[in-house]
């Protein structure tokens, strides 16, 4: 294999010092004469030299690296937000380092240590933040932005969805369409603030509307039997499911098929999140689309502003979900 070309190789071929080559590839090129700059340029082209950008960044205290800590990279929401972050990073000349904790506290601790060793300039966090001491220590060294999930003891900007408004849109839509017996299906409550906000808003709205009946179920091994009991039980009127995210929607759709329930005939369905496969199931799944790309871009822009010296009090950016109506919530008599 061909050995890596070094800055010393370039200096030797050009007949100049290593410092002159460093000036040429750095920000001090104007200090070199035209003749020396031309010789260095010719040597770089001849040898095919590629500067070590990481080493240059460390020398200047700038790596142009942004870290992103996500709880579950398999979640479509995380992927969509990450794409928005990466797009914004690229636009401003930064690179994104993504670490997936896989909902594992030990992995979160390992990744935080690794991100610190990479000398990232800022961090975007989408986890429960169980390693609070490590996060606080890192936050003292660099700016940090939270996405979707609050960490109360961490005073950082937060970018996410207006969960109360999204739940109200869902209940209003189901109510207007004639559904009277509604189940909110959420992933298991593990301290995630967004899930708690959705459940709290749901219970509050159901309590205000005495003509509606509501309950909350979680994605567990018992969900199939619980849905079967819900379908069989008498109620105040047409039944509907409100799924709290894409994972819950997929789980419920599979279970309804296993129960031989004609999709969206005996039961309605509205989903929080908008995924590519929703229009392909039955007559299409009604959804509340999160502006995930904008959430990711805004998270990076918040971080960038902090990197540029913004010392304003921490802010919360709450985006509004967009209702997309399909056949899964057809009007009921």
Instruction: Check if 64-160+293-319 and 163-290+322-329 are the same fold.
Output: yes
Q: Per-residue b/e over 253-273, b at no fewer than 16 CB within 10 Å?
A: bebbeeeeeebbeebbbbbbb
State the alpha helices, DSSP H only, in 214-291: 223-232, 246-258
Domain ranges of the chain: 7-51, 64-160+293-319, 163-290+322-329
Whether residue 43 contacts residue 67, with contact meaning beta carbons closer than 8 Å, is answered with no
**Entry pTM:** 0.82
Distance CA 243, CA 216 (A): 10
pLDDT tens for the chain, residues 1 to 333? 456 788 889 999 999 998 898 888 776 778 888 899 899 989 988 988 876 655 555 455 578 899 999 988 988 999 999 999 999 999 988 999 999 998 888 888 899 888 888 889 999 999 877 778 888 888 888 999 999 988 877 889 999 999 999 999 999 999 999 999 999 999 988 878 899 999 999 999 999 999 999 999 999 999 999 999 999 999 899 999 999 999 999 999 999 999 999 888 889 999 999 999 999 998 999 999 999 999 999 999 999 999 999 999 999 999 999 999 999 999 998
The residue written with tokens 């990481």 in the block is 54
CATH of 163-290+322-329, picked from 3.60.20.30, 3.90.600.10, 3.30.300.30, 3.40.50.2300, is: 3.40.50.2300
* SS3 state of residue 64: coil
List the Cα angle 141/144/145 in 5-degree steps: 175
What is residue 2's predicted lDDT score, i.e. its pLDDT?
52
- CB-CB contact of 85 with 73 (8 Å): no
| Residue 52, CB-side half-sphere exposure with 13 Å CA sphere | 11
Q: What distances in angstroms separate CA 267 from CA 66, 85, 209, 237, 288, one per listed residue?
A: 45, 37, 20, 11, 18
Helices (DSSP H) in 211-308: which residue ranges? 223-232, 246-258, 292-307
What DSSP state is assigned to residue 61?
T
The sheet with strand 213-218 has its strands ordered as 213-218, 181-186, 239-243, 267-272, 286-289, 322-324
Domain 64-160+293-319 in CATH: superfamily? Response regulator (3.40.50.2300)
Asked if 82 contacts 68 with a C-beta cutoff of 8 angstroms, the reply is: yes
């Amino acid at each position: 294999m061909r050995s890596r070309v070094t800055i010393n190789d370039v200096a030797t071929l050009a007949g100049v010092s290593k410092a002159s080559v460093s000036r040429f590839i750095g920000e001090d090129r104007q200090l070199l004469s035209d003749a020396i700059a031309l010789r260095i340029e010719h040597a770089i082209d001849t040898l095919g030299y590629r500067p070590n950008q990481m080493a240059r960044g460390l020398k200047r205290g700038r790596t142009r690296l942004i870290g992103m800590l996500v709880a579950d990279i398999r979640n479509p929401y995380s992927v969509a937000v990450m794409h928005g972050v990466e797009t914004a990073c690229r636009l401003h000349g930064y690179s994104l380092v993504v670490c997936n904790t896989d909902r594992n506290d030990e992995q979160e601790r390992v990744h935080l240590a690794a991100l610190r060793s990479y000398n990232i300039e800022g961090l975007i966090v989408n986890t429960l933040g169980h390693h609070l001491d490590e996060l606080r220590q890192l936050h003292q060294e660099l700016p940090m932005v939270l996405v979707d999930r609050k960490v109360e003891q961490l005073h950082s900007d937060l970018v996410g969805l207006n969960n109360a408004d999204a739940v109200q849109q869902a209940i209003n839509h189901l109510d207007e369409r004639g559904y009277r017996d509604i189940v909110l299906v959420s992933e298991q409550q593990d301290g995630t603030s967004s899930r708690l906000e959705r459940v709290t808003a749901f219970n509050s709205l159901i309590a205000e509307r005495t003509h509606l009946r509501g309950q909350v179920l979680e994605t567990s091994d018992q969900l199939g039997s619980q849905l079967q009991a819900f379908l069989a039980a008498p109620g105040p009127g047409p039944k509907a499911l409100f799924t709290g995210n894409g994972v819950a929607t997929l789980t419920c759709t599979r279970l309804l098929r296993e129960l031989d329930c004609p999709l969206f005939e005996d039961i309605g369905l509205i989903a929080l999140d908008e995924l590519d496969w929703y229009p392909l199931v039955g007559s299409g799944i009604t959804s509340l689309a999160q502006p995930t790309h904008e959430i990711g871009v805004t998270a990076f822009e918040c971080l960038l502003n902090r990197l540029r010296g913004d010392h304003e009090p921490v802010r919360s950016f709450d985006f509004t979900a967009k209702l997309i109506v399909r056949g899964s919530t057809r009007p009921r008599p």
